């Protein structure tokens, strides 16, 4: 059985061509599946009966199954999705006045092991398929009751759930293609954001394959500290990362990179760190998004105090850099950034103490 959620427009057209079907048939089916969220081929009334019968024999439309649905007091909604073999991932919907943002996962677990991230602490389990990635958007639109007139509840997508999207490149790009496709979700490139911890060659590939808005998890303003907090920095240090950001901007839908910066008390939140960030902003057109650290058991870190975060932001703003402080949403249901853990079992059997002593990471 071919899961149609696994195919973007060009793959679906190719698959239809193998069956002797014309490209417009692929577009019709794509619209039914993604725009109207239909999984029943019988309901696809403008598709020829013979083709519907054939599709029933050879294809299916299957998204991951939600096993838990939590709603936060602030309206943030989190689904725990079963992806088989005891693995689960999470998808979070964040309603705001004039938009609705879906935070989508790309992997079960993550191999990159950032010091302050709960997903990283689970270790890596496996890549999600394209169907499991786009299936999160497909499902959210259905569960949130997108109406058949095509009005969408989800207006923005951020690849900021579990996993490192650029470490699952092909499947993420197939899912991005569907997000952007007018016959599918029709989102503009500016409303789709990939967040990466900084896999430099993959940033270059994304620029060629599907340049959407880019957020980079900076979290430290120098290599010594970033090596500890975001270990992929040892492979792709700041100088290379910033150069890749500038190359990306040549094709990006926005003229800046969003640098995410988690605020860790006594670790990366000093005035000196802020000044180093100002230097970085002189090298790459960027905005800073400060993320108050979201705690989880045994993380070994504390969130910077609100006045400390405000002072830090002020230094950046005084230097003329657009800086926002991310509102913590959904933390009462563990849906805030970095709290997504699913039920992925720890397959890595890491035995060492994963709590990084503050002294070790202080710069
Ligand atoms: N792997 C990608 C995207 C997923 S994480 C990346 O690292 O960019 C989305 C954002 O949440 C990243 O900036 C990540 O560093 C941040 N994050 C991780 N753990 C966090 C925590 N405990 N508190 C706040 N932000 C966290
Ligand atoms: Fe992976 Fe991102 Fe978490 Fe780092 S912050 S461990 S890259 S999910």
pLDDT tens digit sequence for 316-334: 999 999 999 988 777 776 6
User: How confident is the model at residue 327, as a pLDDT?
Assistant: 83
pLDDT tens digit sequence for 244-253: 999 999 999 9
Q: According to the CATH classification, is domain 2-60 in 3.40.50.150?
A: no
260 is catalytic: no
Domains 2-60 and 65-361 share a fold: no
User: How confident is the model at residue 362, as a pLDDT?
Assistant: 30
Structural domain boundaries of the chain?
2-60, 65-361
Tell me the percentage of the chain whose pLDDT exceeds 70: 89
User: How confident is the model at residue 153, as a pLDDT?
Assistant: 86
CA of 272 to the centre of ligand 2 (A): 25
Q: According to the CATH classification, is domain 65-361 in 3.20.20.70?
A: yes
Q: Residue ranges of the chain with pLDDT lower than 50?
A: 343-363
CA of 200 to the centre of ligand 2 (A): 15
pTM over 0.75: yes
Name the catalytic one among 21, 90, 164, 260.
Answer: 90
245 is catalytic: no
User: How confident is the model at residue 139, as a pLDDT?
Assistant: 96
Tell me the percentage of the chain whose pLDDT exceeds 90: 79
3-state secondary structure the chain: CEEHHHCCHHHHHHHHHHCCCCHHHHHHHHHHHHHCCCCCHHHCCCCCHHHHHHHHHHEECCCCEEEEEEECCCCCEEEEEECCCCCEEEEEEEEECCEEEEECCCEEECCCCCCCCHHHHCCEEEECCHHHHHHHHHHHHHHCCCCCCCCCCCCEEEECCCCCHHHCHHHHHHHHHHHHCCCCCCCCHHHEEEEECCCHHHHHHHHHHCCCEEEEECCCCCHHHHHHHCHHHHCCCHHHHHHHHHHHHCCCCCCCEEEEEEEECCCCCCHHHHHHHHHHHHHCCEEEEEEECCCCCCCCCCECCHHHHHHHHHHHHHCCCCEEECCCCCHHHCCCCCCCCCCCCCCCCCCCCCCCCHHHHCC
CA of 60 to the centre of ligand 2 (A): 32
Index of the ligand 2 atom closest to the CA of residue 107: 8
Instruction: For the chain, give the mean pLDDT.
Output: 90
**Residue 181 CB less than 6 A away from ligand 2:** no
Index of the ligand 1 atom closest to the CA of residue 196: 8
**119, 199, 296, best to mutate for ligand 2 pocket (most atoms within 8 Å of CB):** 119
**Residue 267 CB less than 6 A away from ligand 2:** no
CA of 108 to the centre of ligand 1 (A): 15
């Amino acid at each position: 059985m071919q899961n149609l959620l696994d195919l973007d427009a060009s793959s679906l057209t190719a698959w239809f061509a193998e069956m002797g079907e014309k490209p417009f048939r692929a577009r019709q089916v794509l619209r039914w599946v993604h725009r109207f969220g239909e999984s029943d081929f019988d309901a696809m009334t403008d598709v020829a009966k013979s083709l519907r019968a054939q599709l029933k024999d050879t294809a299916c439309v299957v998204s991951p199954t939600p096993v838990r649905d939590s709603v936060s007091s602030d309206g943030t909604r989190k689904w725990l999705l079963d992806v088989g073999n005891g693995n689960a991932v999470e998808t979070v919907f964040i309603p705001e006045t004039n938009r609705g943002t879906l935070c989508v996962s790309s992997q079960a677990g993550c191999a990159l092991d950032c010091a302050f991230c709960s997903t990283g602490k689970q270790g890596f389990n496996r890549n999600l398929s394209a169907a499991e990635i786009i299936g999160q958007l497909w499902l959210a639109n259905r569960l949130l009751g997108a109406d058949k007139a095509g009005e969408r509840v989800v207006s923005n997508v951020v690849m900021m759930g579990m996993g490192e999207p650029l470490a699952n490149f092909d499947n993420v790009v197939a899912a991005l293609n569907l997000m952007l496709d007018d016959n599918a979700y029709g989102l503009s490139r500016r409303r789709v954001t990939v967040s990466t911890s900084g896999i430099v060659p993959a940033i270059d590939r994304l620029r060629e394959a599907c340049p959407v808005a880019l957020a980079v998890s900076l979290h430290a303003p120098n290599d010594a500290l970033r090596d500890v907090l975001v270990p992929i920095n040892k492979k792709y240090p700041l100088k290379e990362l910033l150069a890749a950001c500038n190359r990306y901007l040549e094709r990006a839908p926005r003229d800046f990179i969003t640098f995410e910066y988690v605020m860790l008390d006594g670790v990366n939140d000093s005035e000196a760190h802020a000044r180093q960030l100002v230097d970085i902003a002189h090298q790459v057109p960027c905005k800073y998004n400060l993320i108050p650290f979201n705690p989880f058991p045994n993380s070994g870190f504390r969130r910077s105090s609100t006045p400390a975060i405000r002072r830090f932001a002020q230094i950046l703003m005084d230097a003329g850099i657009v800086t926002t402080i991310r509102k913590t949403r959904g933390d009462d249901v563990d849906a805030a950034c970095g709290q997504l853990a699913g039920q992925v079992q720890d397959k890595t059997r890491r035995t060492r103490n994963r709590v990084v002593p503050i002294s070790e990471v202080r710069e």
